[in-house]
Amino acid sequence: MDLKTRKRWSLVILLVGLPLYIVVAVTLVNWMDRTWGRQPIWIELLIYVALGIIWAFPFKRVFRGIGKEE
C-alpha cells in the first residue's frame, strides 16, 4: 500500500472508525455496570486504558510512516 493510500485510510480510521469504537467502548462499560453493578473507578479506568490501546494494534501498518513526506 503506497503512502497516499495509507494517509487516506488513516483519515477514514480516525474520523469514522475511532468515534464508532469510542461508542462501542462506552456501551461495553455501561453494559458491565448494568450486569454486575458499578465497578470501582480504577477498574473502569483500567478498562478504558486497555480499550484505548487495543484499537490501534490492527492499524499499525496503516499509521506507520504517515508523518513522512512523499
pLDDT tens by residue, 28-53:
999 999 999 998 999 999 999 999 89
Contact 59, 1 (CB under 8 A): no
What pTM, to 2 d.p., does this model score? 0.78
54 located within any domain: yes
Containing structural domain, residue 13: 3-59
50 located within any domain: yes
pLDDT at residue 13, as a whole number: 93
70 located within any domain: no
Number of domains in the chain: 1
28 located within any domain: yes
Q: State the Cα–Cα distance between residues 33 and 28, nearest whole angstrom.
A: 9
pLDDT at residue 70, as a whole number: 67
Cell of 13: 480510521
